[in-house]
């Protein structure tokens, strides 16, 4: 592969890519060397700029990958749910409860069992709880505020669809371990490459396009014949790529070289 020049990245996600020069994230911009500052200022696009720099680059009109809009929703389930509602994207019934008086009304809105999640900063199945009674609810409420409550859909699998740029690059089933309600690979779910329904792929592409996300692992489930977007994971893992025999870094090298991202 003949690379004419290297692109500039800040976060280390693409460090193994041969056509990417990774500078690191320094929150004091003056800590970059004069040469690095010049590279950043003169680059047409910055790859993986970090949440901190994504909005700064957007303000100065510099392109990034992932997009500024993608970064705005990193690990923020509350914003994602609000956006899904605004865009009429099918999503399990969800409500956010703020403050102790509001939390007391949760059983008025949801019947046991239901799901409680840590709304910000959680991933890989961590911070997701099946709440079956008042004791479970009390324990969950002691851990977090606000309370992010979602209806429980009784499923044993979901679909991870990875969108990079404007296309699906990978999709697979995640089948929960026996007795486990979460379908995350990080908590033991099995990866399956059985045929993924075209409707799930179409819904993932539609969601990414409407939300203006260009690098996301979108989780979709099928329940009673309908497809629902559960959430989008911007910092998705690579186990599914490895299981499918896909070299993630070579894929990214090629997409950069072909100017797909």
| Least confident span in 46-50, 52-56, 57-61, 178-182 | 178-182
| Least confident span in 23-37, 197-211, 229-243 | 229-243
pLDDT-derived band at 3 (thresholds 50, 70, 90) equals very low
| Whole-number pLDDT of residue 1 | 47
The CA distance from 45 to 49, in Å, is 10
Q: Is residue 123 over pLDDT 70? A: no
Q: Is residue 125 over pLDDT 80? A: no
Strand order in the sheet with 128-131: 94-97, 147-151, 114-117, 128-131
Taking residues 242-261, report their average pLDDT: 97
Q: Is residue 2 over pLDDT 50? A: no
Residue 29, C-beta contacts closer than 8 angstroms, at least 6 positions apart: 37
Give strand ranges (E) for 177-257. 190-192, 215-223, 226-233
Single out the residue of 167, 159, 108, 169 nearest to residue 137, CA to CA. 108
Taking residues 26-52, report their average pLDDT: 97
Q: Is residue 100 over pLDDT 90? A: no
Share of the chain above pLDDT 70, in %: 96
Instruction: For the chain, list the domains and their CATH numbers.
Output: 7-65 (no CATH), 93-151 (3.30.1490.20), 157-257 (3.30.470.20)
The CA distance from 203 to 218, in Å, is 9
Between CA 111 and CA 119, with CA 115 as vertex, the angle to 5 degrees is: 130
């Amino acid at each position: 592969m003949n690379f004419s020049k290297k692109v500039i990245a800040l976060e280390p996600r693409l460090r193994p890519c041969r056509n990417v020069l990774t500078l690191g994230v320094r929150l004091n911009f003056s800590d970059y060397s004069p040469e690095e500052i010049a590279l950043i200022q003169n680059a047409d696009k910055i790859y993986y700029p970090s949440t901190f720099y994504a909005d700064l680059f957007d303000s100065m009109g510099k392109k990034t990958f992932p997009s500024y809009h993608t970064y705005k929703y990193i690990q923020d389930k509350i914003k994602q749910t609000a956006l899904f509602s605004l865009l009429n994207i099918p999503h399990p019934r969800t409500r956010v409860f703020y403050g102790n008086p509001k939390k007391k009304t949760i059983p008025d809105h949801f019947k046991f069992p239901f799901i409680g999640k840590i709304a910000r900063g959680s991933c890989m199945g961590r911070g997701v709880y099946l709440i079956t009674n008042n004791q479970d609810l009390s324990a969950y409420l002691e851990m977090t505020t606000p309370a992010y409550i979602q209806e429980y859909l009784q499923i044993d699998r979901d679909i991870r669809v990875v969108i990079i740029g404007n296309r699906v690059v990978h999709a697979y089933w995640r089948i929960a371990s026996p007795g486990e309600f979460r379908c995350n690979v990080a908590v033991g779910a099995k990866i399956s490459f059985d045929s993924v329904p075209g409707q799930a792929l179409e819904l993932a592409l539609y969601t990414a396009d409407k939300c203006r996300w260009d690098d996301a692992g979108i989780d979709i489930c099928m329940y009673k014949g309908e497809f629902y977007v559960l959430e989008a994971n911007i910092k998705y893992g690579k186990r599914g790529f490895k299981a499918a025999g896909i070299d993630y870094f070579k894929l990214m090298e090629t997409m950069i070289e072909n100017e797909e991202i």
